[in-house]
Chain A
Amino acid sequence: MNSEVKLETNAVQTAKSKVRKNAKKRTPFSGWKENLAGYAFIAPMFIGTSVLVLFPILSSFVLSFTDWNFVAGYENAEFVGFENFSKLLTNALFLKGLLNNIILILAIPVTLLLSLGLAVIINKYVYLKDLFKVIYFMPFISSIVAVAVVFQVLFHPTKGPINQLLLTLGVENPPGWIADVNFALPSVMLIMIWTGIGFNLIIYLAGLQNIPKELYEAAQMDGASAWSQFRKITVPLVSPTTFLLFVTGVISSFKVFDLIIVLTNGGPANSTITPVVYLYQQAFIELKTGYASAISLVMFVIILIITYIQFIGQKKWVNY
């Protein structure tokens, strides 16, 4: 083969590859037409999110430095610097709300433990799996408002079925539940656990599918009991799921609103107040718009910190 032919083939190849490159550039995967089509498809979503989420976040940042009541009109807004924040961080009610929220978080490990136990049993040891999924999921999809109304009656201190039952069982002074300052928050937690089990159970069931069956078979051959299989195989291998559920649980504990508003409205004697309930009261009952914006911003920062810890924690703590 002589060099001329070689050169020719080379040239043809370059030309071919050029053509191919051009083809890639022009059709059908880029260019202004493609851009336009892309923007058109995402436009409704992007505009909606900008107007209803991005814009409100930015403007609440501005509002949080003002003393303003929205009824008064924009011209009466007064710039007060960091006053709202310093007032907020020394406010007894807000701090109590934060503390209550931390106590609410204690309900999450309990929910996780119950859910994992039920998930393991449903996954392996029973018939009618689908039926059990439906049963435990029911409270999760039910209207929280209606659930709260039902529990108001169930928890009634003198006439409610729960205390009637406790009395017949020989408990002499059953707690006053939502009417009692010391028991109102635990009552809220009980309902949170009851409604939360379904969701956590379903996610755990998905997590359990990912554990290779061979591990259990090998453990069984070695004579490991069901309990030690659970402790040594199941618990470590679902730890990513546990971590995910714990974090979503913590974040959603900051969103518990409907339940408290309908069940106790923050009472008795503010014993069930949380930052969200406090925010609602300040913004829509006391009409302190600027101050409420400051609360929003502080909560926003708290959630960001939790999310950040989640990112770091996922790498460090989770046992894959």
Chain B
Amino acid sequence: MVARLDMRKLIMTVIMVLIGIAFLMPFLWMISASFKVEEEVLTFPIKWIPQNWNVVENYKEVWTGSMPFLLLYWNSIKVTVLTTLVSCTVSCLAAYGFAKINFKGRDFIFLIVLATFMIPPQTLLVTQFLLYRWLGLYDTHTGLILLNSFSVFGTFMLRQFYLGISNEIIESARMDGAGHFRIFTSICLPLVRPAIATYAILRFIWTWNDFQNPLIFLRSKELYTIQLGVQSFSDQHGSVYSLMMAASVSAILPLLIIFIIGQKNVIEGIQLGGVKG
């Protein structure tokens, strides 16, 4: 009985692995095409292992050519890392305030902040754009970083974790004369560290993949992030498929690696928040 059940499970696993490979076919095709010489990209039946390798030339053109990915990467890393840092700090502070401090109007302010979560970001673009031109934040990385830094999702998620910390710990610390900032840094932060890590990974992924904000709030080519770069690269080299695939691989790969390293955090965070970026 036990052996038979295991056998069924095993067969099902094999079938699911095959379905999984079919599901990831577009990625496999992309990687394989990025290794090929242009003439071989569209041959059929598909040669998954290239006959004539052209890896170095393809990636060299992508990384140092007319739309150098080296610069795009630097811009993206700068914007993404700073956004993640600022956003985590802002959300951590606010979440502590909303969860552990009894101030006047707290619930009402929290409700307002939550309500802004319903607003589709596109409906804000026009006036945000005008505001940015007026404030001189248009076409700057600072502006781009600020746009993603005030996350309701992050505040809400971290607040849930702070609520889980028992009030008794905090009360006794207060009795001993500790202020809120002291309690925040030395008691709460260490306790919610896993939640912060989860949120940080999610924010990193969402900011890295953000296309809409850079498209609207950046104009100078030298400030472009990777997503804008892929788009203008494909406008320039639209007919050279091997180069386009090398560019796509370059845009996707670092995130896949971060995701695979932090997969437990990412998946748990998504399940906890139940919300899309």
Contact = CB atoms under 8 A, between A and B. Distances in A.
Contacts of A297: 123
Given A141-B266, A161-B29, A149 B12 contact: no
Contacts of B120: 251, 254-255, 276, 299-300, 303
A42 B116 CA distance: 15
Nearest to B106: A38
Interface string B204-218: 010011011001100
B26 A151 contact: yes
A34 interface: yes
A300 to B, nearest CB: 5
Contact of B9 (A126, A143, A255, A300): A126
A262 to B, nearest CB: 6
Nearest to A58: B127
Contact of B29 (A60, A138, A150, A299): A150
B195 interface: no
Contact of A132 (B16, B241, B249): B16
Which of B45, B97, B146, B174 has the most C-beta atoms of chain A within 10 angstroms of its own C-beta?
B97
Given A41-B97, A52-B150, A248-B276, A255 B121 contact: yes
B136 interface: no
B85 interface: no
Nearest to B173: A28
A292 interface: yes
Contacts of B109: 42, 46
B259 A137 contact: yes
Interface in B127-153: 127-131, 133, 146-147, 149-150, 152
Interface in B216-235: 216, 226-227, 230-231, 234
A45 B94 contact: yes
Nearest to A262: B231
A145 B91 contact: no
B158 to A, nearest CB: 11
Interface in B95-112: 96-98, 101-104, 106, 109, 112
A159 interface: yes
A110 to B, nearest CB: 15
Interface stretch (B49-57, B63-71, B267-275): B267-275
Interface stretch (A8-16, A90-98, A181-189, A198-206): A198-206
Contact of B118 (A40, A257, A258, A303): A303
Interface residues of A, number: 97
A264 to B, nearest CB: 13
Contact of A145 (B8, B89, B227, B241): B227
B236 to A, nearest CB: 12
A139 B22 CA distance: 13
A37 B180 contact: yes
Nearest to A135: B20
B16 A147 contact: no
Contacts of A271: none
A125 interface: yes
B256 A258 contact: no
B127 A42 contact: no
B93 A42 contact: yes
Contacts of A127: 9-10, 13
B16 A126 contact: yes
B255 A142 contact: yes
B196 interface: no
Contacts of A149: 230-231, 234, 244, 247-248
B231 to A, nearest CB: 6
A115 B94 CA distance: 35
Which of B33, B212, B247 has the most C-beta atoms of chain A within 10 angstroms of its own C-beta?
B212
Contacts of B244: 149, 153
A38 B101 contact: yes
Contacts of A136: 20, 23
B187 interface: no
B113 interface: yes
Interface of B: 8-10, 12-13, 16, 20, 23-24, 26-27, 29-30, 33, 41-42, 44-46, 89-91, 93-94, 96-98, 101-104, 106, 109, 112-113, 116, 118-131, 133, 146-147, 149-150, 152, 155, 171, 174-175, 179-181, 184, 205, 208-209, 211-212, 215-216, 226-227, 230-231, 234, 241, 244-245, 247-249, 251-252, 255-256, 259-260, 263, 266-267, 270-271, 274-276
Given A52-B131, A149-B234, A153-B33, 6 more contacts: A134-B263, A141-B205, A141-B255, A141-B259, A283-B125, A299-B120
Top 7 closest A-B pairs, CB basis?
A: A38-B103, A41-B97, A48-B150, A45-B94, A56-B127, A296-B123, A146-B248
Interface of A: 27-30, 34-42, 44-46, 48-49, 51-57, 59-60, 63, 70, 121-122, 125-128, 130-139, 141-147, 149-154, 156, 159-161, 164-165, 168, 194, 197, 199, 202-203, 205-206, 244, 248, 251-252, 254-255, 257-258, 261-262, 276, 279-280, 283-284, 289, 292-293, 296-297, 299-300, 303-304, 307
27 contacts: A34-B102, A34-B103, A37-B181, A38-B97, A40-B97, A41-B97, A41-B184, A45-B90, A59-B127, A60-B124, A60-B127, A70-B130, A121-B12, A127-B9, A127-B10, A132-B16, A132-B20, A135-B20, A135-B23, A138-B259, A143-B230, A150-B245, A164-B42, A203-B270, A254-B120, A255-B122, A284-B129
